[in-house]
Amino acid sequence: MIDVKSIILIVLDGLGDRPGEILGYRTPLQAAYHPNMNRMASLGMTGLMHPISPGIRSGSDTSHMSLLGYDPRVYYQGRGPFEALGLHMDMKPGDLAFRANFATNRDGKIIDRRAGRINAGNDQLASAISIDIGNYKFRVKSGVEHRAALVVSGPNLSDKISDSDPHSEGKPPEPIRPLDPSADSTAKIMNEYLKRIREILRDHPVNVEREKNGQIPGNELLIRSAGKVPDIPSFQEKNGITGACVVGSPWLKGLCRLLGMAVIDVPGAAGTINSNYTGKIKTAIDASKRYDFVLVNIKATDVAGHDGDYELKRRVIEDIDIAMEPLLGQSDRIVVAITGDHSTPCSVKDHSGDPVPIVFYTDGIYSDDVKLFDEVSAMKGALRITTQDVLNILMEMAGRAEKFGS
C-alpha cells in the first residue's frame, strides 16, 4: 500500500525557450544557476511535455485547463470569462465576457495599446462605461494597470465574433465582425457600444486631467477573446481530490474559482517580475497540508520571454530557484512537478509550440539519468508526454490513482 501524498504543481509560465547567442547559445534555463531544480531532476523523473499536443501553440488558459485535467478541446470557450471571473464579476450562463484593455486612440489610430499602463482613475473610467443599451447591460471592471474585463448580458448573445483589438499599434481599432451568421446581432450591438463609449471616454475628467498632465489618455477600450462561461464540472468532481491555487494572474484565479478550487492570496504576489516567489512556495507548502492538490503559477518567466530579455529570464529563474529550496525537505509527503505551461522563447517574444521540460520529484519513484533541469537535458529523460498526462502522473506518484481494470 502506497502512502497518499499531497501534490504541488508549479507552473513557471512560458518557461521553455531556445538557445540565445547572448547566453553562449544556451537557453535561459540552461544558463541559469538553479541547484534546487537540478537536485529535483537528479532525484526525480524528467522529460519533455508538449502543451496540448506536439506543435500546438498553446495559450496559458488552454494549457492550464489541460494541466488541471480538463481537455480544452472539450471545455475551452475563450478566455474572456476567466478574466471576468478573476475580477470577481458576476456572470450567468448566456452572458458574454471579454478581456479588455484601456488604450490610447489618437485620430482614429491606436498609438498605445496600454494607455501608458494607466494605473489611476481606472475604476472611474470603468464605471462610466458600464452602461445599458436597450435590453443589453454592459459592465466593465478594471484589473491590474490597463487591464479590464467586460461582461455583456442580454438576449441571443454569441461568442462567434472578432476582436476590436488590432493586436498591434499604429492601426485603427477593428470593427467587431460576426464569424458566423448567428452572431450578426451580437456584432451589431457590440459596435454600437464601442462607438458610444468612445464619446464617454474622450470627455471623461480622468482623461482630460491626464492630457493636461502630459499623459496619454485611456480613451479607447480594446476588447478581445469573447467567450461564454463554460458548463464545467468542479476540480473535485472531475479528479476526486481537493484543490487550491497560489497564483497571481486574475484570469487564472478566475479559472480556479470557476472550478471550485480555493484561491489563496499571497501578499506581494501579483503575477509580475519580482513577485514574492518565496511567499508563494511557502504558502503552497502550507496549503498542501489542507488540500490534496495545489497549483502554483509564477508569471515572471513569461513576462521576460515576451520582452525578449534573455538575461532577465535567466535571473528570474535563479530567483525562483532560491524560493524552491523548502520543497527539498518535503519529498516524503509531497509530490512536486515543475514545468511551464508553454514556451515563450525570447527570440519569438510570443508563445511557441516547442515542448517544455518537466520534472516530477518525490521519494521512492523511478528516477532517470538526468541530473539537470533544462530543455536539452530533459530530452534524455524518461518522459515524452502532453499537458493532459501531468495530473494522471501526479495522482499516480501521490498514491491516489484508481486502478484502471483489475
Question: Residues in the site for a second copy, rule: CB under 8 A?
Answer: 1-2, 18-19, 48, 52-63, 72, 76, 79, 99, 224-225, 343, 345, 347-355, 364-369, 375-376, 379-385, 389-397, 401-406
Smallest separation (angstroms) from a second copy to the CB of 366: 4
**CA gap 261, 64 in Å, rounded:** 13
Comparison of 32 and 383: residue with beta carbon closer to a second copy = 383
Comparison of 170 and 366: residue with beta carbon closer to a second copy = 366
Smallest separation (angstroms) from a second copy to the CB of 17: 8
Comparison of 276 and 392: residue with beta carbon closer to a second copy = 392
- Mapping DSSP onto H, E and C, the string for 132-185 reads EECCEEEEEEECCCCEEEEEEECCCCCCCECCCCCCCCCCCCCCCCECCHHHHH
Residue with cell 485620430: 107
Smallest separation (angstroms) from a second copy to the CB of 45: 9
All residues at 6 or more sequence positions from 97 whose CB lies less than 8 Å from its CB, including other chains: 78, 80, 81, 83, 84, 89, 91, 149, 150, 151, 152, 226, 227, 228, 229
Smallest separation (angstroms) from a second copy to the CB of 323: 27
Smallest separation (angstroms) from a second copy to the CB of 383: 7
Query: Per-residue b/e over 134-173, b at no fewer than 16 CB within 10 Å?
Result: eebebbbbbbbbbbbbbbbbbeebbbbbbbbbbeeeeeeb
Smallest separation (angstroms) from a second copy to the CB of 287: 23
Smallest separation (angstroms) from a second copy to the CB of 342: 9
Comparison of 246 and 346: residue with beta carbon closer to a second copy = 346
Comparison of 83 and 220: residue with beta carbon closer to a second copy = 83
Smallest separation (angstroms) from a second copy to the CB of 19: 7
**CA gap 208, 232 in Å, rounded:** 44
Comparison of 111 and 401: residue with beta carbon closer to a second copy = 401
Residue 13 C-alpha cell reads as: 509560465
Distances (CA, A) of 6 to 9, 71, 191: 10, 23, 49
Comparison of 61 and 292: residue with beta carbon closer to a second copy = 61
Comparison of 24 and 214: residue with beta carbon closer to a second copy = 24
Smallest separation (angstroms) from a second copy to the CB of 259: 16
Comparison of 37 and 394: residue with beta carbon closer to a second copy = 394
Smallest separation (angstroms) from a second copy to the CB of 104: 21
Distances (CA, A) of 125 to 120, 144, 153, 211, 224: 10, 14, 20, 15, 18
Comparison of 333 and 380: residue with beta carbon closer to a second copy = 380
Residue 251 C-alpha cell reads as: 484570469
Smallest separation (angstroms) from a second copy to the CB of 67: 12
Comparison of 262 and 379: residue with beta carbon closer to a second copy = 379
Residue 284 neighbours by CB distance under 10 Å? 27
By the 10 Å C-beta count (0-12 exposed, 13-18 middle, 19+ buried), 273 is classed as middle
By the 10 Å C-beta count (0-12 exposed, 13-18 middle, 19+ buried), 205 is classed as exposed
38, 324 in Cβ contact below 8 A? no
Residue with cell 509564477: 298
Sheet containing 293-298, strands listed edge to edge, beginning at the edge strand earlier in sequence? 262-263, 243-246, 293-298, 6-12, 334-339, 356-361, 45-50, 383-386
All residues at 6 or more sequence positions from 310 whose CB lies less than 8 Å from its CB, including other chains: 17, 20, 22, 23, 28, 31, 346
